[in-house]
């Protein structure tokens, strides 16, 4: 297949090594050629036969095996991506020092492709000054080091240091292959509020007015922003059971009113607001306290009930007004989203430009919807419009790729305002 990539999965010696099996399976099932390069200590947790069966390739740990093939140089040179999961404190320290005393560290020395580390260790190890400095050094060198998840560790311990789930690591691996370059860690210290998913406006205890938003694009933005160093609060509506992104504080809401209240609770401390949620424009004026029943008696009318609607608050426009009025002095970038269709009055971009002017946000992400586009799918494309009149296309790809391009634009906007 044309998009088949060569991926090296390094596995260091930690209890989370067993999770690498799922990662290898997912990357292989995605159509990539996967070669597992464990450390000797990793094989104390998972045997070579398991990795060989999952990857379809032989497994070696030392530089003196298959010497005629020069694997300690060839694996890194030929790889399109190197993923190390779990990356232990010891492995990262050896990578920083430029050690090449086993096949994995030698591969890291010769790799010129994107490199992704997924750390896993006890909280005390992750927070130790040596590890903190090593992570910072790796990131300065262009290595993508994911922040670990928080949760149950070995034994009864709990805290940051848990290996992100395999799906999370696979998502970032695929992103690096799509981007073809590293993901910068350029948003450290930036506080971001992201909204995602659709709202549900109750009609009665059973029924609601909703929309087709899955929340996938907003979750992708939050996920990427967090791994670029931002402190992210994700306000999530109906998201079809999406897993919370690692390193993100998630607030779950249901209605447009709840979304509005949560936004204005968290946004005063934020520098960036990304309004990716699909907020209902209307809600029922009155909500029935009991289920609205059909009429089944003899001679009873079959007419459907009339539901009176009223407009919901425009949260995006409200945030812009609050900033203009000086109520949100910390807020430096407001990003809106527009899901548009063309009509007799104009095409998608015509309506998007009008919305940008009407809303007054700094950046507007535009998606053409309908015919299976944008909603309830894993891919996306569109345009990015800026208040200064610049416009750029967002290439077709995964929603994580689009999330990374949106993060690129936000980072550039913030840097431009600093100059």
The domain segmentation of the chain, as residue ranges, is 6-178, 191-417
Please pick, among 211, 238, 367, 380, the residue that the annotation labels catalytic.
Answer: 211
> pLDDT for 316-341, tens place per residue?
999 999 999 999 999 999 999 988 77
Feature table: binding site for CTP: 281, 291, 337, 355, 359
Fold of 191-417: Rossmann fold (3.40.50)
Question: Is residue 241 pLDDT above 90, yes or no?
Answer: no
Question: Is residue 86 pLDDT above 70, yes or no?
Answer: yes
Identify which of 402, 410, 409, 411 has the alpha carbon closest to the alpha carbon of residue 178.
402
Q: What's the CA gap between 119 and 136, in Å, rounded?
A: 13
Question: Is residue 247 pLDDT above 90, yes or no?
Answer: no
Residues contacting 68, CB < 8 A, separation 6+:
none
Where do we find the tokens 């398991």?
50
**Shared fold status for 6-178 and 191-417:** yes
Instruction: Spell out a b/e string for 282-310, using b for 16 or more CB atoms within 10 Å of the CB, else e.
Output: ebbeeebeeeeeeeeeeeeeeeeeeeeee
Q: What's the CA gap between 214 and 216, in Å, rounded?
A: 5
The pLDDT > 90 percentage for the chain reads 74
Q: What's the CA gap between 406 and 384, in Å, rounded?
A: 8
| Residue 84 in tokens | 């190390």
Q: Which residues pair with 116 in a beta bridge?
A: 83, 144
The answer to whether the beta carbons of residues 106 and 70 sit under 8 Å apart is no
**276: phi > 0 → left, psi -120 to 50 → alpha, else beta; which?**
alpha
When pLDDT is averaged across residues 59-69 and rounded to a whole number, the result is: 68
Feature table: binding site: 281, 291, 337, 355, 359
**Annotated catalytic, 380?**
no
> pLDDT for 339-393, tens place per residue?
877 788 788 898 899 999 999 999 999 987 766 555 667 888 889 999 999 999 9
> Residue 416: pLDDT band by 50, 70, 90 thresholds?
confident
Quote the pLDDT of residue 1: 45
| Residue 224 in tokens | 């990427």
Task: Look up the CATH architecture of domain 6-178.
Answer: 3-Layer(aba) Sandwich (3.40)
The answer to whether the beta carbons of residues 86 and 11 sit under 8 Å apart is yes
> pLDDT for 29-58, tens place per residue?
999 999 999 999 999 999 999 999 999 999
């Amino acid at each position: 297949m044309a998009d088949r990539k060569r991926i090296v999965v390094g596995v260091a010696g930690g209890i989370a090594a067993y999770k690498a099996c799922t990662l290898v399976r997912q990357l292989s099932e995605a159509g990539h050629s996967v070669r597992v390069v464990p450390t000797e200590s990793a094989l104390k947790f998972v045997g070579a036969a398991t990795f060989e069966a999952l990857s379809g390739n032989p497994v070696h740990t030392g530089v003196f095996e298959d010497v005629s093939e020069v694997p300690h140089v060839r694996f890194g040179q030929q790889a399109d991506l190197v993923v190390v999961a779990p990356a232990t404190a010891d492995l990262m320290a050896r990578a920083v020092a430029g050690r090449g005393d086993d096949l994995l560290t030698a591969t890291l020395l010769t790799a010129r492709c994107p490199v992704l580390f997924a750390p896993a260790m006890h909280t005390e190890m992750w927070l130790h000054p040596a590890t903190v400095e090593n992570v910072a050094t790796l990131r300065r060198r262009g290595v993508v080091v994911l922040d670990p998840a928080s949760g149950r560790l070995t034994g009864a311990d709990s805290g940051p240091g848990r290996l992100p789930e395999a799906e999370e690591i696979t998502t970032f691996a695929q992103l690096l292959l799509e981007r073809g370059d590293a993901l910068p860690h350029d948003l450290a210290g930036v506080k971001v509020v992201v909204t995602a998913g659709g709202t549900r406006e109750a009609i009665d205890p059973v029924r609601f007015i909703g929309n087709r938003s899955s929340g996938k694009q907003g979750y992708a933005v939050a996920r990427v922003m967090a791994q670029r160093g931002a402190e992210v609060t994700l306000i999530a509506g109906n998201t079809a059971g999406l897993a919370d992104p690692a390193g993100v504080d998630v607030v779950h809401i249901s209605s447009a009113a709840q979304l509005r209240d949560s936004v204005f609770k968290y946004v005063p401390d934020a520098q960036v607001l990304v309004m990716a949620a699909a907020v209902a424009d209307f809600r029922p004026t009155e909500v029935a306290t009991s289920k609205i029943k059909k009429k089944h008696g003899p001679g009873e009318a079959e007419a459907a009930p009339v539901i009176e609607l009223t407009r919901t608050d425009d949260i995006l426009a409200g945030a812009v007004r609050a900033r203009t009025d000086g109520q949100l002095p910390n807020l430096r970038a407001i990003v809106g989203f527009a899901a548009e269709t063309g009509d007799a009055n104009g095409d998608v971009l015509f309506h998007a430009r009008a919305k940008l002017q009407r809303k007054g946000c700094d950046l507007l992400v535009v998606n053409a919807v309908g015919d299976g586009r944008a909603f309830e799918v894993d891919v996306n494309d569109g345009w990015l419009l800026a208040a200064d009149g610049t416009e750029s296309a967002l290439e077709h790809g995964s929603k994580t790729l689009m999330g990374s391009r949106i993060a690129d634009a936000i980072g550039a906007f913030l840097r431009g305002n600093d100059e």
